[in-house]
Amino acid sequence: MQSQVLEQAQASGLSIDAAAAEHLARFLTLLMRWNRVHNLTAVESVGELIRRHLLESLALRGFLRGSRIADVGSGAGLPGIPLAVTEPALQFTLIESRAKRVAFLRHVQGSLGLANVTIEHGRVEDLRDLAPFDTVLARAVAPLPEVVAMTRHLLGENGILLVPTKADFDGELDGIAADLRVRRIVGETTALLRGALVAVERTAQ
């Protein structure tokens, strides 16, 4: 599987080394093993797992800001685990409310030796004591206004919320707070995503 990860990443224009590919392959192996019992993902073929989970996660690398990253509603560790594997200098906090998924995330963290990963078990709305983050990620969590409402307390000064969403999201902008700026990110890398990538930033006070 390691060679498949490398080949598909390179074909998509993503740069990862052999060590990262090996860790990502081990992550997918664990995901498939746990998925038989815990239903972590509906995707089952190796090729689709690589494309839809690994590559779509890694497509966000170039948009990360700062060194403290939160992955809200991390679920099976997406996009947090692939990003933590390929960005070892950054600190990732994976936030997940479901106990079985938290158990999986902790197993992956230990198995892969991810010292740059912290796992928080709880609802993001209730985690008010966490230090602010430079980047907050929210993949397949909720409609955009709900995601903003749930996560804005996590955003530090000059922080950014990145939300992969459907291509036509303009109807979701009602209810976004006036002190936040919403923009669509475009570029070659976003072609790996199935929809759009939306960035939500605090505006100057």
CATH number at residue 174: 3.40.50.150
Domain that holds residue 134: 2-202
Q: What is the pTM of this model?
A: 0.90
Closest by Cα among 42, 62, 61 to 52: 42
Which residues face 161 on adjacent strands? 136, 200
Burial group, residue 168, by CB count within 10 angstroms (0-12, 13-18, 19+): exposed
Determine the pLDDT at residue 186: 57
The residue behind tokens 């963290």 is: 109
Residue stretches of the chain with pLDDT short of 70 = 166-179, 185-191, 203-205
Determine the pLDDT at residue 172: 60
Number of domains in the chain: 1
Determine the pLDDT at residue 44: 73
Determine the pLDDT at residue 205: 47
User: What's the order of all strands across the beta sheet hosting 133-138?
Assistant: 117-121, 91-96, 68-72, 133-138, 155-165, 196-202, 180-185
Determine the pLDDT at residue 175: 61
The sign of the torsion formed by the CA atoms of 134, 139, 140, 145 equals positive
